[in-house]
Amino acid sequence: MVPTRFITLFLFISLTILALSGLSSISLSSESKPLLQLEATGSNIFQCAFNGQVWEEHHVQADLSHEDGLFYLSLWMGDDFTDRVAFVIETTSIKPGVYELNDPSKRYIFLKRENSDCTFTSDNFYSGVLIIRTFNTERNIVAGTFEFMAHSENCNEVIRVNQGQFDLTYRTN
């Protein structure tokens, strides 16, 4: 009896360790390359996992504007620059730091892709975070990471975007 219990316990512990170690090693894909470097270069690249699939862009147009106490960082991507991700934050000035995206009127994300009729936004329930790690006004460079969940009312669909990162040269509007 003792050897059977020992074997069962050993198998249970071994399988648990294997399952947990597999969860901690999830990555975007073997083909994707980490974008983050020690120093932001303004290379206009964007990458994230969009519902578990890699979304990577190497030609991104970034627009920065500030209006009525809201800061807008709009990223235009795709063949015709019709895919759009916009981060909206209520603040008087942008600086490196962590910004929650959890209020539909003050801090939110907006996402629209050309091949979809769905427009996704974050709100009080579906939220996220934007981390600005570099904001250089002399060179017009902004770099950071993000993740969020967003909902489309017109499509009744929820998306998860994680492992997001960007290194951009922006223009001001």
Cα 152 from Cα 161, distance rounded (Å): 14
Kindly calculate the radius of gyration of the chain based on its CA atoms and give it in whole angstroms.
20
Using a cut of 0.75, tell me whether the model's pTM lies above it: yes
Distance from C-alpha of 67 to C-alpha of 130, rounded to nearest angstrom: 19
Report the 10 Å Cβ neighbour count for 35: 18
- Domain spans, the chain: 40-172
Instruction: Check residue 107 and give its pLDDT.
Output: 92
Two structure tokens written together for 142: 């902004």
Q: What pLDDT is stored for residue 27 in this prediction? A: 37
pLDDT score of 146: 97
pLDDT, tens digit only, all 173 positions of the chain: 445 444 443 434 443 443 334 433 333 443 455 555 568 899 999 999 999 999 999 989 999 999 989 999 999 998 889 999 999 999 888 999 999 999 999 999 999 998 889 999 998 899 999 999 999 999 999 999 999 999 999 999 999 999 999 999 999 98
Closest CA to 88 of 138, 47, 134, 127: 127
- What DSSP string describes the chain? -HHHHHHHHHHHHHHHHHHHHHHTT--S-SS------SS-----EEEEEETTEEEEES--EEEEEEETTEEEEEEEESTTS-EEEEEEEE-SS--SEEEEE-BTTTEEEEEE-TT-S-EEE--SSS-EEEEEEEEETTTTEEEEEEEEEEEETTTTEEEEEEEEEEEEEEEE-
